[in-house]
């Protein structure tokens, strides 16, 4: 049986399970304790709320259909005093899960159908623990920086690089991709005459925009074949996971909109917030174009890179639907009249993968 990612450490991550069926909690307790976690089971959702209020837990496994409160109502109460708890919702059937909008609004990190086998649940828990460990690292960094203002800039960059390397070790595509998205975003920002502060946010936000992929199971992230709908839903969680990881450190506050909203679309069909038009943070709209451009011009396992003329046509076609029209026009001007700068970026950051 696979052990928890922390099994060789003295510290055990603490998980609370909430389900009105004691038998399920007993089974979860045996399974998770063997996997190296500290587990507490609670059958009464009201008692669970009080436990979370008075004790520390790293992660909650929460049944959806319960009495006297359903799972989403439990989360509603918990979020009034605890914004950090990582919550996975358990459902008897995915059709019984709350609407996606509710899951996002309450910052529920994921859900899993109940099963006699806990392998899929363990993957989600391990992904959650990875995100939690990174969030704890960031908290530690933030505390250490309080009394070190003179070293803030250096520590800021070093902390970003440390966490980014964690993602790169997991997904080799992200390495060159994040560097190029960062550079393209800066190029667009300079074209739009943005402030030095905004340019810096675009640079760091681009490097860090996919940090949430650390919370996506490896078997999904590294899959060569076409993803199933459920697997694609897991991938779509990475902006929210990334924002959750960074949200506790004030030094990252300026890049949170980029990390969380770089997959929004101008017409409101993107994710995670389905934001429309100018409701999408401006710097996220810039990063979205840089991200899409690099995806189209990079060779992947399932297709070759697209020719420049095809990419230009696609960007032009998606103005006003996927992309901000004015920002797209600025980038198209670079592609048509100043492409040498694009080539410099691609040569610097290893375009051939």
Residues with a known catalytic role: 213
Listing DSSP states for 56-75 in one string gives: --SEEEEESS-SSS-HHHHH
How far apart are alpha carbons 260 and 270 in whole angstroms?
Answer: 11
Cα–Cα distance for residue pair 318/7, rounded to 1 Å: 48
Task: Determine the length of the chain.
Answer: 353
Contact 115, 44 (CB under 8 A): no
The span from the CA of 260 to the CA of 212, in Å, is 9
- How far lies 297's CA from each of 33, 69, 228, 301, in Å? 47, 49, 24, 13
Burial class (CB in 10 A: 0-12, 13-18, 19+), 190: middle
- Measured distance CA(40)–CA(234) in Å, rounded: 26
Pair 265, 271: CB distance under 8 Å: no
CA distance 215 to 2: 18
Can you spell out the DSSP letters for 105-145? HTT--EEEE--S--HHHHHHHHHHHHHHHHHHHHHHHHHHH
Number of helices (H) and strands (E) in the chain: give both, helices first.
16, 5
Q: Are strands 14-18 and 110-113 parallel, antiparallel or unpaired?
A: unpaired
208, 212, 215, 221: CA torsion to nearest 10:
-90
C-alpha angle 71-77-82 in degrees, rounded to nearest 5: 110
Q: How far apart are CA 173 and CA 179, in angstroms?
A: 11
For residue 223 the two structure tokens come to 């899959």
């Amino acid at each position: 049986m696979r052990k928890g990612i922390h099994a060789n450490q003295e510290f055990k991550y603490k998980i609370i399970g909430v389900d009105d069926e004691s038998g399920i909690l007993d089974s979860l307790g045996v399974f998770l304790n063997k996997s190296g976690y500290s587990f507490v089971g609670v059958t009464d959702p009201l008692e669970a709320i009080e436990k979370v209020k008075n004790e520390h837990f790293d992660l909650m496994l929460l049944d959806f259909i319960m009495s006297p409160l359903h799972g989403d109502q439990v989360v509603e109460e918990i979020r009034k005093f605890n914004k950090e708890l990582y919550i996975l919702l358990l459902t008897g059937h995915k059709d019984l899960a709350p609407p996606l909008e509710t899951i996002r609004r309450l910052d529920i990190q994921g859900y899993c159908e109940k099963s006699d086998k806990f392998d899929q649940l363990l993957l989600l828990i391990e992904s959650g623990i990875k995100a939690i460990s990174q969030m704890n690292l960031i908290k530690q960094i933030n505390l250490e920086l309080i009394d070190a203002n003179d070293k803030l800039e250096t520590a800021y960059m070093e902390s970003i690089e440390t966490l980014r390397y964690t993602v790169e070790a997991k997904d080799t595509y992200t390495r060159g991709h994040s560097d190029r998205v960062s550079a393209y975003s800066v190029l667009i920002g300079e074209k739009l005459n943005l402030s030095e502060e905004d340019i810096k946010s675009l640079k760091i936000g681009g490097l860090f925009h996919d940090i949430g992929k650390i919370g996506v199971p490896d078997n999904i992230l590294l899959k060569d074949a076409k993803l199933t709908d459920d697997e694609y839903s897991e991938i779509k969680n990475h902006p929210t996971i990334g924002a959750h990881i960074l949200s506790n450190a004030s030094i990252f506050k300026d890049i949170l909109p980029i990390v969380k909203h770089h997959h929004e679309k101008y017409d409101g069909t993107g994710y995670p917030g389905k934001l429309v038009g100018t409701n999408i943070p401006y710097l996220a709209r810039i990063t979205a174009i840089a991200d899409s451009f690099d995806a189209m011009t990079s060779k992947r396992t399932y297709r070759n890179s697209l020719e420049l003329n095809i990419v230009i046509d696609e960007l032009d076609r998606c103005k006003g639907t996927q992309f901000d029209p004015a920002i797209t026009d600025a980038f198209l001007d670079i592609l048509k009249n100043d492409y040498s700068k694009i080539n410099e970026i691609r040569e610097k950051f290893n375009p051939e993968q």
